[in-house]
Structure 1
Amino acid sequence: MFSILIAFFTSFFATILIVRTQKLHKGFSGDHDFDGPQKFHTTAVPRIGGLAIGLALFVSLAVSYQNNEGGNEKMLFLFCALPAFGIGIAEDISKKIGIRTRLIFTAFGALLASILLNAQITSLDIPGLDLVLSISAISIIFTVFAVTGLANAYNIIDGFNGLSSMVGIISLLALAYVGFKFNDPFIFNLSFLMAAAILGFFILNYPRGLIFLGDGGAYLIGFWIGTLSVLLVARHPEISPWFALMVNAYPILETLFTIYRRKFHQGKSPGHPDGLHLHSLFFRRILNQAAIKNELDWFNANSRTAPYLWNMSSLVTIPAIFFYQSTSILICLFILFTLSYIWIYKRMVTFKTPKWLHF
């Protein structure tokens, strides 16, 4: 509990420090791009919130190490996350690092985790595929692909104040709960440490958007959650591998649908940005329309976007907690969630947004 409190307060005060001193560093730390398809802010805002989260994790894990609370393995976990975090921060400052380079660094971190922490996906509870995944090299390659993809997914959904960070907290609490049920202090502690670190940042990010998560923060959160998800299932075979998929269903589905939309409908590179994510549609079709009608100001329209997706993420994560051992139920829930996502997306993109979404 002490290290969790340290993670929260370190992140909180570091975030305050970044915000209060932004005049000194906004030239390189600020997000000055207001014209991109995924940009919904109107003033330059520091986009290095990931620094506060990374510092909080380091300080809290250093305390665990000194108190002999399994600190060696935890510090090794943090070491594996450094490539993803470092390249993200480098992009936040330079704004010149391409998506391919970021993915390569993140994949290297995932490879380290697979080898050093034995974080490997060896089963999907699907006959045939499980036989293939029993081959160590294939298992490692698949794991690297999955963790890298989830890290990038959190960067993709990081479009509005509080969106990516709260979705991360929801997933981490689910992992912590199941880790607690299986008496796994490693999973439980690392989940809560990251959740506490995110919460310290979240207080200044939502609703006012005084600081942004940035690529460094998004990649760090996604990598952390992805690796913990793999480790939880690897350490406890009683847990269905589909539980790991379900607690991350929203960012995963958003990423897969984004790749499909850009590649096959737009004929563009999957790494090319656009403004047609589901969270963008909630803003454009519902909340921004209310702002145009003077029912909301722009600030409230932005801040009210994220709760729609928090609810969507919770609706798929909470059932997963209750059925974490049942692959068949989890598969059915994932199919239902996918169909619901596609239906809502299609309705909104064709200007037929259901009236019940205008609450």
Structure 2
Amino acid sequence: MIIRTQSLHGRISGDANLDGPQKFHTKIVPRIGGLAIVLGVFIPIALFDQGNTNEIDELFLLASILPGFGIGIVEDLAKSVSVKIRLLFISIGALVAIFLLGTSINHLDIPGIDYVIAIPAISMLFTVFAITGLTNAYNIIDGFNGLSSMIGLIALMVIGYVGILFSDSLIVLFSFTLFGAILGFFILNYPRGLIFLGDGGAYLIGFWVALLSILIVNRHTQISPWFAVMVNAYPILETLFTIYRRKYRQGKSPGHPDGLHFHSLIFRRILNSSHINSELEWFSANAKTSPYLWLFSSFAVIPAIFFWHSTPILIGF
């Protein structure tokens, strides 16, 4: 419906900035795909999953998602919300999750550090930092058709699989409900790029994956906290290197955009964008970029599937 009606709302919802350092599309495209995904999650859970033992936790989890998703959609429409304000709202959502769901990162299986992180105030701050960071990471890697959404699909599939191993109905429900909602978006986003995630969609996926990663470790002590790290290794590494590059190499704010992300370099140097001479070639190169990163992400995710219980092995990987 968003795609079919873009002539009515495209002036507001469309991504009309075609010249930015992280822009690799050639036409104005609706950037409110997150709205479709959130409806694809909230509606079925609200209509068909009432009266079960996890209902309160489900409501709390959905409530915690709203601040970050909401400010993301505002940015998609207004295109004027600062990075600091967006991160603030995501942090508020993280605090809501901590207080309502009682979940936090309280150990890393590293002697010494675990004593510090077990302190409630430090645990809370670290959890907010981790959730906010991974949420923003999904926005950072959202540079090419199918990239951020497929990374989210891979993470949710692995978390859902481990949830099945432990018969955890809440983890399974939230993993595969969002998986289905993203998949509906993905087939319209990749490879044709008919609709974009936007900040709202990227924040929704990133926050959801971050929260489930922490929840599954909290709910099952047999699972290593490094399982959560490995499942999200690619967006985490991209974000850390982005901060290092912008702040310490370029002397700029970490929120300042540039065109030196891993996906940008693959597009420019491996797919050789300097030799693109037509819109068809541009479209083809865009579509060919994301699979490189899907494979790269799998190098971390596959060990997490087999060694979810072993901190030493996961740290080694």
**Aligned equivalent of 1:327:** 311
Residue of structure 2 aligned with 1:190, choices 174, 177, 199: 174
Which residue identity lines up with residue 161 of structure 2 in the other structure? Y
User: Are 1:308 and 2:292 matched, yes or no?
Assistant: yes
What displacement does 1:176 show?
Answer: 0.4
Q: How far has the Cα of 1:292 moved from its partner?
A: 3.1
Deviations 1:264-308 (A, max 9, x none): 1111000000000000001001224485388x8111100010000
Q: Which residue of 1 aligns with 2:196?
A: 212
Matches within 5 A, 1:110-259: 110-259=94-243
Q: Distance in 2 between matches of 1:129 and 1:123?
A: 8
Aligned to 2:45: 61
Does the CA-based 8 Å contact 2:157-2:175 persist in structure 1? Answer: yes
Cα distance between partner residues in 2 of 1:114 and 1:248: 20
Q: What is the aligned partner in structure 1 of residue 266 from structure 2?
A: 282
Residue 188 of structure 2 aligns to a residue whose secondary structure is: helix
Q: Counterpart of 2:185 in 1: which secondary structure?
A: helix
Partner amino acid, structure 1, of 2:148: S
- Checking the alignment, whether the CA contact within 8 Å between 2:32 and 2:201 is kept in structure 1 is yes
**Amino acid across the alignment from 1:326:** S
Are the aligned partners of 2:21 and 2:257 in contact in 1 as well (CA < 8 Å)? Answer: yes
Aligned residue in 1 for 2:283: 299
* One-letter code aligned to 1:90: V
Q: Is the 8 A contact 2:189 2:196 kept in 1?
A: yes
Give the distance between the partners of 1:213 and 1:123, measured in 2 at CA: 33
Q: List per-residue Cα deviations over 1:174-229 (Å, max 9, x = no partner).
A: 10011111111101110001111100100100000000000000001000000000
CA contact (8 A) 1:288 1:298 kept: no
1:46 Cα deviation (Å)? 0.3
Distance in 1, matches of 2:64 and 2:185, equals 22
Offset of residue 73 of structure 1: 1.5
Q: Distance in 1 between matches of 2:239 and 2:168?
A: 30
Once residues 48 and 101 of structure 2 are traced to their aligned partners in structure 1, the CA distance between those partners, rounded to angstroms, is: 18
TM normalised by structure 1 equals 0.86
Contact 2:3-2:195 at 8 Å conserved across structures? yes
1:61–1:71: 8 Å Cα contact kept in structure 2? no
Q: For 1:19, what is the secondary structure of its paired residue?
A: coil
The answer to whether the 8 Å contact 1:53/1:198 transfers is yes
- For residues 216 and 293 of structure 1, the distance between their equivalents in structure 2, rounded to whole angstroms, comes to 33
Q: Secondary structure at the match of 1:304?
A: helix
Q: Give the whole-Å Cα distance in 2 for the aligned partners of 1:69 and 1:313.
A: 34
1:27-66 equivalent positions in 2, closer than 5 A: 27-66=11-50
Q: Deviation string for 1:68-122 (max 9, x for gaps)?
A: 3633321221110000100000000000001000000000000110111112001
Q: Distance in 2 between matches of 1:225 and 1:188?
A: 12
In structure 2, distance between residues paired with 1:224 and 1:60 = 16
Residue 78 of structure 1 aligns with an amino acid whose one-letter code is L
Mapped to 1, the partners of 2:252 and 2:116 lie a distance apart of 32
Paired residues of 1:65 and 1:72 also in contact (CA < 8 A): no
Tell me which amino acid in the other structure corresponds to 1:271: G
Instruction: Confirm or deny: 8 A CA contact 2:268 2:274 kept in the other structure.
Output: no
| Amino acid in the other structure paired with 1:220 | L
Q: Structure 1 regions of 5+ residues with no counterpart?
A: 1-16, 334-359
Moved more, 312-321 or 247-256: 312-321
- How much has 1:318 moved relative to structure 2? 1.0
Deviates more, 1:296-305 or 1:153-162: 296-305
Equivalents in 2 of 1:223, 1:66: separation in Å? 23
> Which residue pairs with 1:99 in the alignment?
83
What is the Cα deviation at residue 67 of structure 1? 5.3
Shift of 1:136: 1.2
Asked if the contact 2:134/2:235 (under 8 Å) is kept, the reply is yes
Q: Distance in 1 between matches of 2:184 and 2:135?
A: 20
SS in 1 for 2:27: coil
Preserved contact between residue 153 and residue 251 of structure 1 (Cα < 8 Å): yes
* 2:242 is aligned with 1:269: no
**Structure-1 separation of matches of 2:219 and 2:53:** 19
Give how far 1:163 is off: 0.1
Cα deviations across residues 141-184 of structure 1 (Å, max 9, x unaligned)? 11000000000000000000000000000000010011111111
Relative to structure 1, the CA distance from residue 120 to residue 64 in structure 2 (aligned partners, 3 Å threshold; closer, same or farther) is farther
Is 1:77 matched with 2:61? yes
